[in-house]
A and B are shown apart, each in its own frame.
Chain A
Amino acid sequence: MEATLRVLNELEQAGVVSRYAIGGAMAATFYAEPVLTFDLDVFVVLPQTRGGLLTLEPLYEALRARGYCEENECVNIEGVPVQFLPAYNALLEEALAEAREMMYEATPTRVLRAEHLVTVALQTGRDKDRERVRLLREAPFDPDYLAGVLARHGLGERWHQWQP
């Protein structure tokens, strides 16, 4: 896992991605009890292309050049299947910009804030997102910060609807 994060840091330093942060189940695990997942979801801000297209192809190319192969929708990086997800809306752009910097053993990395994970789950709205919101309700988060995120992205009502 640490080797995987070092590769992500290399990609960012080389400008292949402008910024990355861990999201999904592994980010939820950072704040709450461990939950089963087989993928490491990594949100990325991609550098602007000439045509303005949002494509992961240059990232996949850079990974192939480093010897990491695609497996279905993931890339196996140092033993961990990583799924790259571009920040495709304003909420994810904000979540990436404000992701929390932390250390994984000796390696720096970033994880989305718990407040953003809750809001992303509310926005996505699948059954497993309900479960993630339930789990994260027990995580330590800043209620004022969460209220701001929910208001900015129009998800306050759903937050209240999803109360247990």
Chain B
Amino acid sequence: MASMAALSPEVTRMLAAKEQRRRKLAGLPFPEKVRAVVQLQRMVAPILRARGRKVRVWNIEGSAARRSPETP
């Protein structure tokens, strides 16, 4: 594999932007990250189903809004 020093400035810039995006995603609030996971599930589920794997995309918005005593 080529070392970072051998990469063109354009590729170096693209890798840096990718790294910056990863850090930005890592800094999102947890509920937004959960929504991103569900988006990933939607993208990947058809591929996995085509391979015969049973997967369920989470229904995080449509569940019953029951109120209940809360802990912790």
Residue B37 interfacial (CB < 8 Å): yes
**Would A107 and B70 count as touching, CB distance under 8 A?**
yes
Is B36's CB within 8 Å of the partner chain A?
yes
Question: Within 8 Å of chain B (Cβ to Cβ): is A90?
Answer: no
Q: Is A12 an interface residue (CB 8 A)?
A: yes
Q: Which of A55-63, A71-79, A118-126, A144-152 contacts B (4 or more CB under 8 A)?
A: A71-79
A10 to B67, CA, bound (A): 10
Q: How many A-B residue pairs have CB under 8 A?
A: 92
Is the CB–CB distance between A34 and B40 below 8 Å?
A: yes
**Residue pair B64, A13 in contact (C-beta under 8 Å):** no
B37 touches A35 (CB 8 A): yes
Contact between B64 and A78, CB atoms less than 8 A apart: yes
The answer to whether B69 and A9 have CB atoms under 8 Å apart is: yes
Q: Mark A8-40, 1 if CB is under 8 A from B, else 0.
A: 011011000000000000100111111111100
Q: Are the C-beta atoms of B56 and A9 separated by less than 8 Å?
A: no
Does A97 sit at the interface, judged by CB under 8 A?
no
Chain A residues packing against B (C-beta within 8 Å): 1-4, 6-7, 9-10, 12-13, 26, 29-38, 71-72, 76, 78-81, 101-102, 104-105, 107-110, 138-139
**CB-defined A-B contacts under 8 Å, sample of 26:** A1-B58, A2-B60, A3-B63, A3-B66, A6-B70, A9-B72, A26-B34, A29-B30, A29-B34, A29-B37, A31-B26, A33-B26, A33-B33, A34-B28, A34-B33, A34-B34, A34-B40, A38-B58, A78-B63, A78-B64, A79-B59, A79-B62, A80-B60, A80-B63, A81-B56, A108-B72
